[in-house]
């Protein structure tokens, strides 16, 4: 057996990119080891410098490209190479859509026994490439004596100040910049994670794309503002802002929001519209960041569920009942759950607003509620699940299997956890009917997908 030659940090080598990784990086092989190279596209040959060496892989940086992929384009953002928000601005949009379909194919090929060649895996449905995000969630820091807001550079704690971002809605950016200026005017102490001191951590701005209503949430380590009343008044006076809230997050965590939220000025909730529905959004409630593309996804969920009016439907990881509203009219009964209490209140209010008295939402985890309902005799026919990136809890998967639901419509934002969960369900007697990928976040490596799984019918002998 040949001896593996160890790569060395600082070594310059020539490679050809073979495929793309899950974070948008190019992948090559050297001395039988995988090497990840951000910025390199499939088919391109380049000189690279090894920056990190691990047991089974290495990381490298691009030194010089020797050729150019047909999919390579010039990034529009001047700070693209510094900011960690986008990973694919150097790739054509058609290339991005193919890449995202390929990510799903690779994930299912690695984690399941699905016949990829015969499976109904559809082409990625695109959306508008720029200014699609309705919410900015920027960290706050200092540059010299100046307070700035922005995003952390990839794999670092270095904050990149952002006053313009071409994937963000322009109104959201306008308000974020105005709030950042006010933080300077009021000389608000900036949070320091190393010292566990300071006040302001994040600025969160959400814009109702169709309503024009804007919500601002100041996320603070503690309530140490010298003049919170004056600051909140001036933020409320920014044109378009109708809601100003303070959220306290005193934990050493990468999570943005803490548990305690107080509305300082204006209304508690802003409104947004999707399809025929109007949603009430409280400060911490989850809502799709690209509502235009979300509409297309929800339309597909309705088609996939194919409800006849006779089905009991579970809406798991429900948020504010965004999907639930779209399926309620076709269901016999809808029950949903969400761990954030304010979101559950919003979901129930939405159902009441549209007269869906056969739908109810509860606080808690799906894996706790489903067995309880089944034990009480309420047996679901269809599950709609839209979990976080970590995927479904194993207990929930087992609860779905035990309930013998006829159909599961799985909405996912992570191909790896999606494939893992589908493998669990496939081994328990479900088959994948089709997979439809969506590009929810152009210029990034993220891909959303809807997978429809149906209970296999037992063969008759």
- Residues labelled catalytic: 413
Token readout for 253 is 């965590």
Nearest Cα neighbor of 154 from 34, 26, 38 is 38
Instruction: Tell me how far apart the alpha carbons of residues 327 and 390 are, in angstroms, rounded to a whole number.
Output: 25
* Residue reference for tokens 């039988």: 32
Q: Is the dihedral of CA 134, 139, 142, 143 positive or negative?
A: negative
189's tokens: 């102490």
Q: From 329, 369, 330, select the one nearest 351 (Cα to Cα).
A: 329
Burial per residue of 57-66, b for 16 or more beta-carbon CB atoms within 10 angstroms, e otherwise: ebbbebeebe
**Helix or strand run (H / E) with residue 77:** none
Which of the 8 DSSP states describes residue 192?
B
3-state secondary structure of 86: coil
Is the distance from CB of 137 to CB of 202 less than 8 angstroms? yes
206/135 Cα distance (integer angstroms): 4
Residue 386 labelled as part of a binding site: yes
For 12, the 3-state DSSP assignment is strand
Give, rounded to a whole angstrom, the gap between the first and last alpha carbons of the chain: 52
3-state SS, residue 438:
strand
Structure tokens belonging to residue 205: 């701005």
| Alpha helix positions (H), 340-458 | 341-353, 366-375, 394-403, 415-427
Task: Check whether 99 is labelled as a binding-site residue.
Answer: no
For the chain, give the number of residues: 461
**317 carries a ligand binding annotation:** yes
For residue 18, the SS3 value is coil
273 is in an annotated binding site: no
Binding residues for S-adenosyl-L-methionine are 288, 317, 338, 386
Binding residues are 288, 317, 338, 386
């Amino acid at each position: 057996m040949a001896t593996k030659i160890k790569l060395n940090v600082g070594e310059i080598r020539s490679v050809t990119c073979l495929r793309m990784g899950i974070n948008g990086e190019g992948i090559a092989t050297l001395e039988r080891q995988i090497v990840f190279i951000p910025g390199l596209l499939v088919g391109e040959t380049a000189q690279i410098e090894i920056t990190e060496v691990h047991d089974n892989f290495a990381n490298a940086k691009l030194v010089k490209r020797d050729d150019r992929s047909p999919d390579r384009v010039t990034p529009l953002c001047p700070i693209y190479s510094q900011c960690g928000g986008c990973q694919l601005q150097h790739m054509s949009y058609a290339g991005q859509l193919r890449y995202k379909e390929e990510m799903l194919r690779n994930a299912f090929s690695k984690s399941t026994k699905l016949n990829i060649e015969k499976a109904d895996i559809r082409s990625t449905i695109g959306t508008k490439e720029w200014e699609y995000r309705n919410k900015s969630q920027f960290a706050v820091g200092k540059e010299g004596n100046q307070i700035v807001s922005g995003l952390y550079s990839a794999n670092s704690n270095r904050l990149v100040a952002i006053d313009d971002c071409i994937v963000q809605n322009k109104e959201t950016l306008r308000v974020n910049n105005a709030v950042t200026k006010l933080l300077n005017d009021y000389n608000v102490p900036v949070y320091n994670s190393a010292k566990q001191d300071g006040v302001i951590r994040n600025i969160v701005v959400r814009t109702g794309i169709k309503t024009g209503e804007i919500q601002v949430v100041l996320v603070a380590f503690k309530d140490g503002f010298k003049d919170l009343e004056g600051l909140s008044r001036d933020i409320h006076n920014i044109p378009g802002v109708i809601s100003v809230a303070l959220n306290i997050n005193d934990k050493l965590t990468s999570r943005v929001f803490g548990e305690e939220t107080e509305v300082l000025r204006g209304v508690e909730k802003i409104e947004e519209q999707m399809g025929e529905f109007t949603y009430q959004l409280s400060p911490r409630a989850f809502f799709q960041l690209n509502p235009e593309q979300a509409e297309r996804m929800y339309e597909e969920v309705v088609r996939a569920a194919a409800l006849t009016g006779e089905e009991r439907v579970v809406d798991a990881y429900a948020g504010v009942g965004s999907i639930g509203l779209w399926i309620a009219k076709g269901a016999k009964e809808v029950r949903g759950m969400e761990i954030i209490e304010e979101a559950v209140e919003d979901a129930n209010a939405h159902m009441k607003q549209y007269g869906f008295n056969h739908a109810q939402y509860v606080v808690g985890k799906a894996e706790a509620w489903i067995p309880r309902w089944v034990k009480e005799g309420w047996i679901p026919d269809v599950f709609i699940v839209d979990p976080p990136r970590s995927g479904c809890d194993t207990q929930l998967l087992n609860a779905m299997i035990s309930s013998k639901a006829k159909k599961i419509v799985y909405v996912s934002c992570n191909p790896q956890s999606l494939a893992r969960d589908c493998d669990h369900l496939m081994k328990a007697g479900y088959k994948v009917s089709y997979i439809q990928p969506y590009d929810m976040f152009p210029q990034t490596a993220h891909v959303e997908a809807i997978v429809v799984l149906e209970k296999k019918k037992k063969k008759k002998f």
